[in-house]
Amino acid sequence: MSRTLIAAALTLTLTAFAPPASTAGQATDESAVTLALSAGRQIFRQFCAPCHGLGKGDGPIASMVTASPLLDLTQLKRRSQGEFPVEALAAMLAQTAHPKTPAHGSQMPLWGPTFQAIDGSPTLGRARITNLLAYIESIQH
């Protein structure tokens, strides 16, 4: 996911909290990326880390999940021929019902509705998914 794409996805979210722009372009993009990664890291720690740990599938409750071992989230880019599968992951995270595919077991919570329910905003729910994916992309090996 490019820095520009992340910055564009967060514009709506950041506008309400952004200080007056003193510089244009790259500084704004870098600030947006930094905020996205920080927000994504917080979302990951709260919602993903209990099962996925630091991304390797070794979180404190991972052993309670039937689908063990859990997917190593640090290897998604490698497993997708060197391209981080942002669109597929965003679609999976935004789902409102469990699909009939083995890649997304029914034990994994449906995060789309959860992220929207935090404040009732579909837009902020999508921003949370975008931020989370920016963070997961940043931990690829």
Could you report the per-residue pLDDT of 71-114, keeping only the tens digit for each?
899 999 999 999 999 999 999 999 877 665 555 556 788 898 99
* pLDDT confidence of residue 16: 37
Q: Which residue has the higher pLDDT, 117 or 23?
A: 117
- What is the per-residue pLDDT across 40-75, written as a single tens digit (0 to 9) for each? 999 999 999 999 999 998 999 888 887 767 889 999
Structure tokens belonging to residue 53: 């740990």
- Residue 23, SS3? coil
CA atoms of 131 and 110, how far apart (whole Å): 17
- Residue 66, SS3? coil
Among residues 48, 31, 35, which one has the least CA distance to residue 89? Answer: 48
* pLDDT confidence of residue 45: 97
How large is the average pLDDT for residues 27-41? 90
CA atoms of 139 and 136, how far apart (whole Å): 5
Do 11 and 35 contact (CB within 8 A), yes or no?
Answer: no
Confidence band for 8, pLDDT divided at 50, 70 and 90: very low
Q: How far is CA 88 from the centre of its chain?
A: 12
CA atoms of 27 and 103, how far apart (whole Å): 38
* pLDDT confidence of residue 66: 75
Q: Where are the domains of the chain?
A: 3-16+25-138
* pLDDT confidence of residue 107: 76
